Structure 1
Amino acid sequence: MLNKHLYTLCLCLFSVCLLFSQKEKDSTNIGLDKDLVQINQSIVETTPIDPLRPSKAAFYSAILPGLGQAYNKKYWKIPIVWGAIGTGVYFYVKNDKQFDRFRDAYKRRLAGFTDDEFYGDGTTPQISDDGLIRAQELYRRNKEVSLLITIGLYALNIIDANVDAHLLQFNVDENLSLRPHYQYNEMENSSDLGVTVNFKF
């Protein structure tokens, strides 16, 4: 009977020794020693936010197209702004000149003259009075569309400078970050996916 209790006691002590000798393994640890892991923390300098910067950029672009883009240091956008607005102005002026040509010819026809540039050398005009009226309507419509497009591009220039100034002040430093991560779980022989959110004050 004593031998039986002794064997049981030895077996229990041996089991307890085995239990304490087991090293607890973390499922998120991928063979890295905690003493060897060092985290480097860098000091991030942030620039102060200027709440009037977007208003200034929009104001400068309203005064002179492209000036707000220069204020935002986006110099590559200046030729695009000038080219877009310049194209709209070019088509407006071109259609205005054509409209004036047909209007002047029509006015001379109404006054009884037959020496306008669209009359020609014969007895019948190359372009009739109705043709002159239709041409005036066409170029007037084209002129108005060109003016609307030019005003829209001018407004788009102001909006671009304003939005760009807002985005330049957007916080993208390491103190606020969202990163996906992947870990292999050795205990369960599976993969762990997750997202790490860092927000430092």
Structure 2
Amino acid sequence: MQKTKLLILVAAFTFFLVNLASAQVKDTVLKPADTSKIKLSKSLDTAAKKPMTRKDSMKAKYVNPGKVAGRKAVFRSMIIPGWGQLYNMQLLNDGYGTRAGKSQFFQKLYTGGKIAAIYGGVTVLTMSYIESSKQYNLALTELQYRDSHSDQPDPNGPFGSRYSTSGITQRKDTYRRNKQIVLFSYGLVYFANIVDAYVAARLHFFNIDDNLSFKVMPSMINTNSMYGFNATPALKVSLTF
């Protein structure tokens, strides 16, 4: 009886081992070998061994000088208005491309004029804001006095009885609106200063020379008629610079 049980256990264990071995054989046969890692390592080794050419080196080291100059000009103009224009003037001194070695006198004069325009505009706006604030405060003081003295004018004020209360109120509102316009104009001048510095810095690195040509040739313009092709003769002008 014990021998029979032992034989049954041995047979069951043998059957289990046979099934396990056959399953591993099937998995080995059906599952393809993972060669991606091998190929990747080979490609990395090949790339590492491949010498870098001069063209690849130039691609890796290339930096767009116009973008760099534009960012620098914007950063300077954001800190101090006009600083970006001074930076662009320094670019004119350095020269670039066909303009290298040339005086660029008129371009420098134009850039200096933009700096003067920026600070001239800020000065005018500041003077206007100071004057508007002064007149606004005078009108407000007069209205406060009349409100507390039964609509009687201030004897020491600049208005007297020549101006009515409604007129002084309108005057106060006008100067308050002028102050708001001046503040908005400050923002416009600041924004225009940044945009001008960026555009001038980018355009400095465009190859602009005196070689300009144009070509005129006959052409046809389709008017897109719903009843068929309807063309109109025209002249085509192409500019090359």
Gaps in structure 2 of 5+ consecutive residues: 1-63, 90-110, 216-237
In structure 1, the residue matched to 2:140 is: 103
The answer as to whether partners of 1:91 and 1:146 remain within 8 angstroms in 2 is yes
- Opposite residue 162 of structure 1, the aligned amino acid is Y
CA displacement at 1:61 relative to structure 2: 1.2
Q: Residues 86 and 178 from structure 1, CA distance in 2 versus in 1: closer, same or farther, beyond 3 angstroms?
A: same
CA displacement at 1:118 relative to structure 2: 3.8
Q: TM-score, normalised by structure 2?
A: 0.48
Task: Within 5 Å, give how 1:126-137 maps onto structure 2.
Answer: 126-137=162-173
In structure 1, the residue matched to 2:224 is: none
Gaps in structure 1 of 5+ consecutive residues: 1-47, 182-194
Once the two structures are overlaid, the 10-residue window that deviates more, 100-109 or 145-154, is 145-154
- Opposite residue 114 of structure 2, the aligned amino acid is K
In structure 2, the residue matched to 1:117 is: 157
In structure 1, the residue matched to 2:84 is: 68
Structure 1 residue matching 2:112: 3-state secondary structure: coil
In 2, Cα distance between equivalents of 1:59 and 1:149: 21
The partner residue of 2:197 within 119, 139, 161 is 161
CA displacement at 1:102 relative to structure 2: 0.5
Q: Residues 91 and 119 from structure 1, CA distance in 2 versus in 1: closer, same or farther, beyond 3 angstroms?
A: closer
In structure 1, the residue matched to 2:73 is: 57
Task: Within 5 Å, give how 1:1-201 maps onto structure 2.
Answer: 49-73=65-89, 74-112=111-149, 114-120=154-160, 125-172=161-208, 179=213
CA displacement at 1:117 relative to structure 2: 1.2
Note the aligned Cα RMSD (angstroms). Answer: 3.2
* Higher relative contact order, chain-length normalized (CA < 8 Å, sep 6+): 1
